[in-house]
Amino acid sequence: MSEKLWKSVPVRPSEITPKDIYLRRREFLKVGAIAAAAAVVAACGASQGPTPTATLPPRQTPQPGRDEYGDPVTPYEAITNYNNYYEFSADKEAVARLAKNFQTRPWTVEVSGLVAKPRRFDIDDLLKKYPQEERIYRLRCVEGWSMVIPWLGFPLAKLLKEVEPLGSARYVSFVSVSRPEEMPGMRSGFYPWPYREGLRLDEALHPLTILATGLYGELLPNQNGAPLRLVVPWKYGFKSAKAIVKIELTEQQPPTFWNLIAPHEYGFYSNVNPNKPHPRWSQATERRIGESGRRPTLMFNGYAEEVAHLYEGMDLMQEY
C-alpha cells in the first residue's frame, strides 16, 4: 500500500474534528461500550471460543473518524475510562478517578545518552514547535482487547534527529515519571518502578512511531499518559510508555518493565503476532471495545506492509 494511504497530514488542533462531533455522529457506538469494556477481563483469558473465519476487509483510504479498514474510532468515554496504567491501579476502571489530580505542569523530558546534542525539552515548547498530527491508530492490548484511537502527536523521529544520535546508538530507552505520592499503584513493592520501555533505533525512527500529546483533538487526559506518551501501533499496548520524563539512546538493549517481571511472557519486541500465544492465552483473536464477539488479530496489528521489513530474517516466535 502506498504511503499516502496511511501517513497523516499535519493539522492544527482547531482543524481536527471536535470530540462532540465524533460522538454525535456515532451515538449508537456508545450503547454498551463501557459495559463491553467491563466484560473484557473475562474475555481475555484462555476461554476465547473458536477463531472467527470471516474474511478481513481490505485496507482503504482513511476517512475522517475511521481507520484504514473502515472501522470507526472507539467512543471517547471508553478510551478514557478503561485504561492499563499500573502506576495508578491494576483496576482499569479505577485509573481515571485516581489520575484526576495528577500534575502535568511543569513537565520536561530529558533526551541523553549516545547523542551529540543532549537536551531537556519543556512539554509546552514541544507543543509549539512540532505541528500536531492526527493519527488514527489501532491499539491492541496483550490481554486481548483493542481500540481505535484518534491520537494527536508528532513523529518521535523529529525529536531524536534534533539531538543527533551517534553512530554507536542502537536502542532507545524510555523512562516514565516516578511519583508515588500521586500514583498510588507505585506504592506496591512488587513492581520494578519506574516504568521502563525500549525500542530498537530503527523502530523509534519509523514514521509510524509517534509521541502522543492528545486524543480526540484535545490534550492527552491524565489516565491516557499525559502529557507525553509513546505510541507504537504495531506492538502491544504496554510498549507505549506513558508520562515520559527521560529518553536515552544506548548501544545495548535496555531493560523493560514487563520483561524484567516475566521474561518468558513479555519479550523485548512484543510485536502483535496472532501466531505467538501468550503462555496463558491465545493471541489469535481480540475483542474490540464497543463490539460483541471477537475478531481475528492482524499480524503487526494490521501494519505489516509498513513494518515487516524491520524484522526480515528474524524468528518472530523466538524473538518475540
As given in the structure block, the three cell numbers for residue 3 are: 504511503
φ/ψ of residue 14, rounded to 5: -70, -20
Residue 176 lies in a domain: yes
Residue 299 lies in a domain: yes
Residue 319 lies in a domain: no
Residue 264 lies in a domain: yes
Residue 138 lies in a domain: yes
The total number of structural domains in the chain stands at: 1
Cα 264 from Cα 279, distance rounded (Å): 8
Cα 298 from Cα 272, distance rounded (Å): 8
Give the CA distances from residue 193 to residues 176, 183, 205, 240, 261, in Å, rounded to whole numbers and listed in that order.
9, 11, 26, 16, 11
Give the CA distances from residue 107 to residues 141, 195, 273, in Å, rounded to whole numbers and listed in that order.
27, 17, 35
Give the CA distances from residue 143 to residues 159, 254, 266, 286, in Å, rounded to whole numbers and listed in that order.
31, 24, 12, 9
Q: Give me the tens of pLDDT residue by residue for the chain, a chain 320 residues long.
A: 333 333 343 443 333 444 554 444 333 333 343 333 444 333 333 333 333 334 567 888 878 899 989 999 999 999 999 999 999 999 999 999 999 999 999 999 999 999 999 999 999 999 999 999 999 999 999 999 999 999 999 999 999 999 999 999 999 999 999 999 999 999 988 999 999 999 999 999 999 999 999 999 999 999 999 999 999 999 999 999 999 999 999 999 999 999 999 999 999 999 999 999 999 999 999 999 999 999 999 999 999 999 999 999 999 999 99
Q: What is the 3-state secondary structure (H, E, C) of 58-121?
A: CCCCCCCCECCCCCECCCHHHHCCCCCECCCECCCCCHHHHCCCCCCCCCEEEEEECECCCEEE
**pLDDT tens readout for residues 157-186:** 999 999 999 999 999 999 999 999 999 999
Say what the pLDDT of residue 35 is. Answer: 39
Residue 320 lies in a domain: no
Alpha helices per DSSP H over 164-206: 201-205
Q: How many CB atoms lie within 10 A of CB 39?
A: 15
Side chain identity at residue 81, one-letter code: N
As given in the structure block, the three cell numbers for residue 309 are: 521489513
CATH number, domain containing residue 290:
3.90.420.10
Domain of 42? 3-311
- Chain CA centroid to CA 195, Å: 14
Instruction: Report whether 51 contacts 277 (CB < 8 A).
Output: no
Residue 318 lies in a domain: no
Grouping H, G, I as helix, E, B as strand and the rest as coil, residue 229 is strand
Cα 81 from Cα 192, distance rounded (Å): 25
Residue 304 lies in a domain: yes
Instruction: Report whether 141 contacts 84 (CB < 8 A).
Output: yes
Cα 66 from Cα 72, distance rounded (Å): 4
As given in the structure block, the three cell numbers for residue 78 are: 471508553
As given in the structure block, the three cell numbers for residue 129 are: 514547535
Instruction: Report whether 82 contacts 35 (CB < 8 A).
Output: no
Cα 291 from Cα 293, distance rounded (Å): 7
Give the CA distances from residue 191 to residues 17, 30, 115, 162, 242, in Å, rounded to whole numbers and listed in that order.
39, 35, 30, 33, 16
